Amino acid sequence: MKFKLMRILFSLIIMTGALLTQGSARSDDNIDFFDRMIPGNQITLLKNGDDLHSERMKMIRGADHSIYISMFAIHADKIGKEIFQGLCDKARAGLDVRAIIDHRASKDFFTYSMKLKDCGAHVISFRPGSRFFALHEKLLIVDGQKYITGGSGYSLTYKHHSFDSYLLERREANKVKKGWYDFDVMVSGTSACSFHQQYQRNFKHLALMVADYNPDIWWYGWKNFSSMKEKYYGLKKFKNCTLPKGKKWYGQSRVRPILANPYYSKTRPILDAHIEAIRLAETSSTRKITMYAPYFVPAPKMVEALVRAQKNGVQVTIITNSIRATDEQKAGKTLFIAMMESIKPMLKAGVELRLWDNLSMLHRKGGVYGDVAVVGSDNLDNRAQDFQSESVIFSDDLNLVNEIRDDFARDVEKTMLVTKEYIDNVYRTTPWIYKFIAKHFKKYF
């Protein structure tokens, strides 16, 4: 009997130790996540395309030292040309102006982008050998003190984005075929210097790695171009970011800025941050996860984390595009089936998936994990983690969190719940070859 009691006591000690270890590990995770946030920022959520373009141009025209810009999509329309002219003027004035442009998504702007070199800017046209990789980030950094990032490119399409972009009268007034619903953030403060430095590292990597696909090399030859590389890319002429005197603290907000490019890196910092934030939601007071995901074919690790959160009592709600709303009309059903094949465990666990089924295209990327907001270019899909460069911010700024929460609560009313009948109908009306592609190649979606 005495031996039995001792064994029970010993087991209790082991269990207690294990629980304490688990508790301390979770606490350490929390500390680590928030320690990575940079204090001293002011955040503004930009929810209207007109305001977004206005702020971008103000930043470009007001730049004193440097302008770093990443473009997935810039078109040769009124907006694209205005952005180009602003960059060109500043490059001619002697500022450190750099642009990284995804060639495939911005082919019609190629001529303009190359002319930026004539203005004195340093330009990389991102054209990797693999068609799967893309430069998807949307990032504008000025003087290492201020930046804008989010889901919006540089064209009239994005200029007209707003909540009411799905209204027919707004579309007709703006003369656009399809409205877009997006958001971006403008941040002033200390975290801008982090993005500034991350951009410089990204620029250096790409200048060396994508050079084989640079038409200038084909024209001049590799040997000659090697000696001209510094002139083209200015790798020794980067400007440092320094905060102006008396403005060390722009605000009280904390921000974790992340720029990731899987083209040259094996790490997945954005995916890791998503997983950490999901874990934090399990200990938050709200115990809710509300996310916008335009093309929701998530990575397996994210699926596992969201399933665990749902089972641990966190209410997970995702809004994504319906087949009618998505801009990927030709691949709409294939994308939907790829999503279904990826998130089966989530639906089984009780995660609520809702479809944005309006005339507009839902293009918002981000949401709220418990008490932490995330906004950026990441679509929460496999491509974003393994094949596309992305820029995002995580922040526990209360105003940002509440603003996104309020929008989400309103937007849910404009959605429909995914039902078994809806899913069955899509599968039934989709040719077998597209179902095969969706099931076996979803990692590329």
Domain boundaries, the chain: 38-233, 259-444
Over the chain, what is the mean pLDDT? 86
Segment 260-287 shows an average pLDDT of: 94
Would the pTM of this model clear 0.85, i.e. be above it? yes
Q: How far apart are CA 406 and CA 137, in angstroms?
A: 26
318 or 445: which leads in pLDDT: 318
Which residues lie across from 316 on neighbouring strands? Answer: 289
pLDDT tens, 361-419?
999 999 999 999 999 999 999 989 999 999 999 999 999 999 999 999 999 999 999 99
Give the DSSP H/E element, type plus range, for residue 292.
strand 288-292
What are the structure tokens assigned to 59, written together? 């930043």
pLDDT band at 23 (very low <50, low <70, confident <90, very high): very low
Please say if the pLDDT value at position 246 is more than 70.
no
More confident residue, 104 or 405: 405
Residue 12: predicted pLDDT? 36
CB burial of 330-353 (b: ≥16 within 10 Å; e: otherwise) equals ebbbbbbbbbbebbeebbebebbb
Rounded Cα distance between 62 and 379, Å, is 31
Nearest to 375 by CA among 356, 395, 352: 395
> What percent of the chain has pLDDT above 90?
59
In whole angstroms, what is the distance from residue 100 CA to residue 106 CA? 11
* DSSP reduced 3-state for 287: coil
Q: What are phi and psi of 192, to 5 degrees?
A: -65, -35
| Whether pLDDT at 336 is above 80 | yes
Averaged pLDDT for residues 421-435:
91
Options 3.40.190.170, 3.40.50.1820, 3.30.1490.100, 3.30.870.10; which CATH number does 38-233 get?
3.30.870.10
Question: Mean pLDDT over residues 430-434, rounded?
Answer: 90
Is residue 307 within 8 Å of 349, Cβ to Cβ?
yes
Same fold yes or no, 38-233 and 259-444:
yes
Burial class (CB in 10 A: 0-12, 13-18, 19+), 19: exposed
Kindly give the pairing relationship between strand 372-376 and strand 146-150: unpaired
**The pair of three-digit structure tokens given for residue 56, joined into one six-digit string:** 């971008």
Residues 375/183, Cβ–Cβ less than 8 Å = yes
Query: Which of 318, 379, 378, 370 is CA-nearest to residue 343?
Result: 318
Q: Using an 8 Å Cβ cutoff, are 265 and 335 in contact?
A: no
CATH for 259-444, among 3.40.605.10, 3.30.870.10, 3.30.413.10, 3.90.470.10?
3.30.870.10
Q: Which three-class secondary structure state does DSSP give residue 52?
A: helix
Give me the pLDDT at residue 17, please.
39
Per-residue confidence at 2, pLDDT binned at 50, 70, 90?
Answer: very low
What is the pLDDT averaged over residues 298-302? 95
**pLDDT bracket for residue 14 (50, 70, 90):** very low
Average pLDDT over residues 146-161: 92
Can you read off the two tokens belonging to residue 381? 């899909």
- Top pLDDT among 3 and 161 is at 161
- Residues 275, 281: Cα–Cα separation, whole Å: 10
